[in-house]
A and B are shown apart, each in its own frame.
Chain A
Amino acid sequence: MRRHPIQIIPTIVLFVTVVYAKSGAEPSAENPFQNSDSARAAGQKLFARHCAECHGPAADGTERAPSLREFVRSAAPGVLHTFIKNGNLRSGMPSWSRLPDAQLWQLVTYLQTLEPR
């Protein structure tokens, strides 16, 4: 039964490599959730969970990170998506690539509804 169990390792590595090779294109610059109320609500929840600790619960900024209200209104959705995904590691903004693209777009949808103050 346990004669050649190690053979499973190359099989799994091969499978993942094929999936990896077939995946690929960069996400579109268009927000697939544009103007979606449920995406905005989901984005608000994600913001409270991942971003509010630094940017403040209302995105007005804290001593750890600046206000987002001016920046997010003027930025193109694709630029915002890329910025959240990559972060700015030198300045302390973490990369949020651990979140799936769909959740990043939900965040963008919420952020772009914020009014400047």
Chain B
Amino acid sequence: MIAALRIGFPFLLILGVLASPGLAQERPYFITYDHHMEEPGNLEVATNPVIGQARGISTFIGNWTEFEYGAKGWWTSEFYVDSQHTLHDGGLLTGFRFENRFRLLLGEHRINPVLYVEYEHINGADKTLKEVVGFDRKEGHAKPNWETRLEHEREFETKLILSSQIKGWNVSENIVGVKNIHEGVWEFGYAFGFSRPLALAASADACTFCRENFNAGLELYGGLGEWGDVTFKGTSQYIAPVLAWNLPSGTTLRVSPGFGLTDQSHSTLIRFGVSHEFSGFGQQVGKLFRRNRS
């Protein structure tokens, strides 16, 4: 965790100099993706710690720090750095992920499909629980870090994201497929979420605590078994209310207490998120390079 902060803090300082804060309306979900892309040229930086608890397992904090860039109106690119700290065990960086999302239909439709493609290089000590697939279970987090850090996973992950806006509600479904590049079979999972701002119309006054700045919803996610054995049985499943608060400064705060629904799940997963959007980041970086050339 401290290592992640050492890397992240100077980077955030550079961002602060390069770009001004942007003011987007962020989704409240932690796991589920919707069809809304990052605005072109903007960069969002976020950190998302999760506290996990289950009987017989040391309490841990997993964290992913993400850098989300709007490459085009229809294409968003994201880089994640994962880390964790386990009580009575210690902490470490656990790997990285690189993903791209592509909107398949350019206009707004009743259902908007998005293709998600990710490469991840993480080790077995990863405890972000960013996606729950296959027969993932809490016992996988019981081993000590010195042992699990030696298990290296290079995985290819795809998601089909289906998302709709209906009378102020967002309803999103994600179907997840993960394949270890070197071995194993495809593992499957899902995420489903719906959310809505607490007020649909904006108030006329500038305000921090207006209802339209809050977005509340619910997420469901879990494993669906693997190739040849697609099932709910023996999988981890979670239900998690979500709440996001979009501050006028461009920062979004999120919280989500999650609860395990099966014996294979952690009993509670409490997620927090802080994100900040930097407007015009791409243009500012482009200017720097043009200046250096001339």
Contact = CB atoms under 8 A, between A and B. Distances in A.
- List 5 tightest A-B contacts by C-beta distance, closest first: A89-B73, A41-B204, A102-B201, A100-B168, A100-B200
- Which of B27, B170, B239 is most buried by chain A, counting CB atoms within 10 A of its CB? B239
Secondary structure of the B contact surface, majority rule: loop
B36 interface: yes
Interface size for chain A: under 10, 10 to 19, 20 to 34, or 35 or more residues? Answer: 35 or more
B91 interface: no
B40 A42 contact: no
Interface string B144-177: 0000000000000000000011111111000000
A93 to B, nearest CB: 7
A11 B212 CA distance: 28
B13 interface: no
Contact of A64 (B24, B41, B171): B41
A98 interface: yes
Contact of A12 (B34, B73, B169, B218): B218
B39 A94 contact: yes
Given A88-B73, A102-B168, 12 more contacts: A23-B167, A41-B204, A42-B201, A50-B23, A63-B283, A89-B74, A94-B39, A97-B108, A98-B34, A98-B36, A98-B170, A100-B168
B248 A101 contact: no
Contacts, number: 123
Contacts of A42: 201-204
Interface residues of B, number: 52
13 contacts: A5-B237, A6-B232, A23-B169, A64-B283, A89-B74, A92-B72, A92-B73, A95-B108, A98-B36, A98-B165, A103-B202, A106-B201, A106-B202
Nearest to A50: B23
A83 to B, nearest CB: 11
Contact of A6 (B37, B192, B205, B237): B237
Contacts of B212: 103
Contacts of A13: 192, 220
Given A49-B248, A85-B108, A98-B170, A6 B262 contact: yes
Interface of B: 20, 22-25, 27, 34, 36-37, 39-41, 70, 72-74, 103, 106-108, 164-171, 192, 194, 197, 200-206, 212, 218, 220, 222, 232, 237, 239, 248, 261-263, 279-280, 283
Interface of A: 2, 5-6, 8-9, 12-13, 16, 19-20, 23-24, 38-39, 41-43, 45-46, 49-50, 53-54, 63-64, 85-95, 97-103, 106
B248 A87 contact: no
Contacts of B248: 49
Contacts of B74: 89-90
A86 B107 contact: yes
- Which of A12, A41, A103 is most buried by chain B, counting CB atoms within 10 A of its CB? A103
Contacts of A19: 166, 169
Nearest to B202: A42
A79 B15 CA distance: 37
Nearest to A36: B204
Contacts of A100: 167-168, 197, 200-201
Contacts of A9: 192, 220, 222, 232, 237, 239, 261
B200 A101 contact: yes
A50 to B, nearest CB: 6
Contacts of B169: 19, 23
